[in-house]
Amino acid sequence: MKSVIKKAMRAFAMQNAVKFGGKATPDAVLGKIFGQYPDEKKNAQEIQKEIQQTIQEVNTMTLAQQEAELIALTEELPELLDVKERDQKQLKPLENAEQGKVVMRFEPSPSGPLHVGHAYALMLNYLYCKKYNGKIILRIADTNPDNIDKNAYQMIEQDFKWLCSDLKYGCYVQSDRMEMYYEWALKLLEEGYAYACTCEQEEFRTKAQQMVDCPCRKLGKEERLKRWHRMLITPEEGKPGEEFELRLELKMIADIGFVGLPNLGKSSLLNELTNANVKVANYQFTTLEPNLGVYYGLILADIPGLIEGASDGKGLGIKFLKHVERTKIMFHFLAADSEDIIADYKTIRAELEAFNPTLLEKPEYILVSRSDTVDEKQLKKILTKAKKINKNAAPISIHNWDQIQKIKEILNKMDEEKQSGN
Same domain, 236 and 325: no
* CATH classification of the domain holding 343: 3.40.50.300
The residue from 11, 41, 76 where one domain ends is 76
The pLDDT score that the predictor gives to residue 332 is 94
Q: Are strands 254-260 and 245-248 parallel, antiparallel or unpaired?
A: unpaired
In a domain, 185, yes or no: no
Same domain, 237 and 264: no
Same domain, 199 and 162: no
Strand partners, 331: 258, 365
Same domain, 281 and 366: yes
In a domain, 87, yes or no: no
In a domain, 86, yes or no: no
Same domain, 198 and 221: yes
The pLDDT score that the predictor gives to residue 251 is 59
In a domain, 404, yes or no: yes
In a domain, 95, yes or no: no
Same domain, 215 and 318: no
Same domain, 219 and 302: no
The residue from 248, 264, 291 where one domain ends is 248
> Closest Cα partner for 105 from 91, 133, 124, 131?
124
Distances (CA, A) of 314 to 212, 223, 283, 318: 20, 24, 17, 8
In a domain, 89, yes or no: no
Question: How does pLDDT run along the chain (422 residues), one tens digit per residue?
Answer: 678 888 889 999 998 888 888 888 888 888 888 888 888 888 888 888 899 899 999 988 888 888 888 888 887 887 777 655 444 456 788 878 899 999 999 999 999 999 888 888 898 899 999 999 999 999 999 988 888 999 999 999 999 999 998 989 999 999 999 999 999 999 999 988 899 999 998 888 887 766 577 889 888 889 999 999 998 887 777 777 788 999 987 655 789 999 988 888 888 899 889 876 665 544 444 444 677 888 888 889 888 877 555 444 444 445 567 778 888 999 999 999 999 999 999 999 998 888 889 899 999 999 999 999 999 999 999 999 999 999 999 999 988 999 999 999 999 999 888 877 65
Same domain, 376 and 325: yes
The pLDDT score that the predictor gives to residue 279 is 56
CA count, 13 A, side-chain hemisphere, 397: 15
Same domain, 200 and 152: no
In a domain, 98, yes or no: no
Same domain, 51 and 156: no
The pLDDT score that the predictor gives to residue 287 is 46
* CATH classification of the domain holding 122: 3.40.50.620
Same domain, 204 and 136: no
In a domain, 82, yes or no: no
Residue 313 sits in which domain range? Answer: 254-420
- Please say whether the beta carbons of 321 and 306 come within 8 A: yes
Same domain, 139 and 62: no
Domain tally for the chain? Answer: 4
The residue from 16, 41, 76 where one domain ends is 76
